Amino acid sequence: MVFPRTPVRSGPELSQLIDLINEQFDLDIPNPRLYSPSVGRNDKSLSWGIYRRIQRLYFDRSVDLNRILNNFEEWVLSQSTTQIVGGSRYGHIPGSFSGSFGRDSLTGHGGRRISQHERQERLTYLVGLIDDELYLLNKGSFSAFKGDDGLSAEHPAITGRSLKRRLSVEEEEEFHTAPNSPVKDPDRAGTPMDRGKVCNLDIGHAMDLQPTTIVPVHIFKSPKTTDMTKKPSRFVERLTASDSYPRYEAMPAAHNGANFSFSTTEASSAFLYSNNGRYDTSFTSTVTEATEPLLDSESMYEDSVVGHLLSQGTTTFEEQQAPNAFALQEPVYSDEGYIMEDLLHHGPFSLDHQYPSSVPFRYRYELERVARAWDISLDRMLVGSSISFKTLDDFWGWIGGHNQRQGKRLPEKPSRKAWEAATGSFKTDKHSEVVALTGDLDWCGESEKGIFKLRLNPLKTERTCRFHRRFGSDRFLSLTMPAPARPPPHPRLTSQPTLLRESLALWLTQNVHRCLGRVWKPFFVEEVESKRKIKSERRFRVDFFAIDGIDFDHGAHPVSSVAPPGQDSGSHTPMSLDALIDWHMPQEANRSQSNCKLFQRFSLGLSKTFATVILRPHQVLPLPDESNRPVMNDGCALMSRGLANQICDSLGLTGNTPSAFQGRIAGAKGLWMVDRHQSQISAGGEDIWIQISDSQLKIKPHPHVWQEPVDDEQLTFEVVKWSKPLHPVALNTQLLAILEHGGHVKEHIADLTRLGIRSVYQDFAEVLKSDSPVLCRSLVQKIRPSGDDGLGLMSQKAWRFEQWMSNDAEFIIRLTEAGFGPRSFYPLRKRLGKCLRELLNRYVDELHIEVPLSTYAFCIADPYSVLKPDEVHFGFSNNWRDGNGQFEDNLLDGVDVLVGRLPAHLPSDIQRRRAVWKPELRHFKDVIVFPSTGDIPLAHMLSGGDYDGDTPWVCWDQNIVHNFYNTDLPSHEFPPEHYGLTKHSVPMREIESMDEFLQSAFTFNLTLSNLGRCTVEHEKIAYDESIDSDKAKELACLLNHLVDGRKGGVHLSEQSWRQYRKRISPRNPTRRHKKTNIIDYLRFEIARDEQRKMLTKLEEAFPENEASPSKDEDLKVQLDRNGSGELYTAVQEMSKKIEGFYDRWSSSLQGGQNSFSPLTLEAADEARAIPPPSGNHPLIQVWQHSRDEWLRHPRFGFVIHAFGEVLCQIKTSTLPARTVTTEMLSYYPRDAMGEEEALDGEDEYEGHEAIEAMLFGMRPSGGYYDPDDCMSVE
Task: Look at residue 58 in the predicted model and tell me its pLDDT.
Answer: 82
Segment 665-685 mean pLDDT: 94
Task: Look at residue 577 in the predicted model and tell me its pLDDT.
Answer: 96
* Cα 410 to Cα 396: distance, rounded to the nearest angstrom: 9
Most confident of 52-56, 1050-1054, 1187-1191: 1050-1054
Domain borders along the chain are 2-330, 361-584, 590-722, 852-961, 976-1073, 1109-1225
Residues 1159/1153, Cβ–Cβ less than 8 Å = yes
Segment 1013-1019 mean pLDDT: 92
Task: Look at residue 886 in the predicted model and tell me its pLDDT.
Answer: 81
Coil, helix or strand at residue 691: strand
Segment 137-158 mean pLDDT: 50
Evaluate if residue 1236 carries a pLDDT over 60: no
* Cα 1169 to Cα 1161: distance, rounded to the nearest angstrom: 12
Beta carbons within 8 Å of 630's beta carbon, 6+ residues apart:
935, 936, 937, 940
Q: 875-879, 948-952, 1062-1066, 1120-1124 — which is least confidently predicted? A: 1120-1124
Using alpha carbons, select from 922, 744, 796 the residue that is nearest to residue 415: 796
**Cis, bond preceding 489 (omega within 30 deg of 0):** no
Task: Look at residue 1245 in the predicted model and tell me its pLDDT.
Answer: 36
Task: Look at residue 292 in the predicted model and tell me its pLDDT.
Answer: 33
Return the number of other C-beta atoms located less than 10 Å from residue 968's C-beta.
Answer: 8
Work out whether the CA dihedral 370, 372, 375, 377 comes out positive or negative.
positive
Segment 131-158 mean pLDDT: 56
Task: Look at residue 474 in the predicted model and tell me its pLDDT.
Answer: 98
Coil, helix or strand at residue 1088: helix
Task: Look at residue 1115 in the predicted model and tell me its pLDDT.
Answer: 65
Task: Look at residue 606 in the predicted model and tell me its pLDDT.
Answer: 97
Task: Look at residue 140 in the predicted model and tell me its pLDDT.
Answer: 60
In the structure, what pLDDT confidence band is assigned to residue 1201 with cuts at 50, 70 and 90?
Answer: low
Segment 486-496 mean pLDDT: 84
Evaluate if residue 1202 carries a pLDDT over 70: no
Task: Render pLDDT for 4-31 as a digit per residue (tens, 0 to 9).
Answer: 334 456 666 788 888 888 888 888 888 7
Task: Render pLDDT for 366-412 as a digit per residue (tens, 0 to 9).
Answer: 999 999 999 998 888 876 345 667 889 989 989 998 888 988 999 99
Evaluate if residue 801 carries a pLDDT over 60: no
Helix (H) or strand (E) holding 506: helix 499-509
Task: Render pLDDT for 910-927 as a digit per residue (tens, 0 to 9).
Answer: 999 999 999 999 999 999
* Cα 812 to Cα 1207: distance, rounded to the nearest angstrom: 14
Looking at every residue in the chain, the average pLDDT score rounds to: 76
Evaluate if residue 890 carries a pLDDT over 60: yes
The region that residue 1020 occupies, defined by phi over 0 for left and psi between -120 and 50 for alpha, beta otherwise, is alpha
DSSP state letters, 254-312: ---------S-----BTTTB--SS--------------S--SSGGGGSTTSHHHHHHHH
Task: Look at residue 19 in the predicted model and tell me its pLDDT.
Answer: 83
Q: Which residue has the higher pLDDT, 1171 or 538?
A: 538
Evaluate if residue 1112 carries a pLDDT over 90: no
Task: Look at residue 62 in the predicted model and tell me its pLDDT.
Answer: 74
Greatest Cα-to-Cα distance within the chain, rounded to the nearest angstrom: 117
Q: 745-749, 900-904, 1117-1121 — which is least confidently predicted? A: 1117-1121
Residues 1107/831, Cβ–Cβ less than 8 Å = no
Which residues in 211-236 are b (16+ Cβ under 10 Å) and which e? Answer: bbebeebebeeeeeeeeeeeebbbbb
User: Is the pTM value of this prediction over 0.75?
Assistant: no
The Cβ-side half-sphere exposure at 358, using a 13 Å CA radius, reads 2
In 26-111, where does DSSP find H-type helix?
46-58, 65-80, 102-107
Q: 181-185, 672-676, 958-962, 1195-1199 — which is least confidently predicted? A: 181-185
In the structure, what pLDDT confidence band is assigned to residue 533 with cuts at 50, 70 and 90?
Answer: very low
**CATH fold label, 852-961:** Barwin-like endoglucanases (2.40.40)
Residues 293/215, Cβ–Cβ less than 8 Å = no
Return the number of other C-beta atoms located less than 10 Å from residue 267's C-beta.
Answer: 22
Task: Look at residue 73 in the predicted model and tell me its pLDDT.
Answer: 86
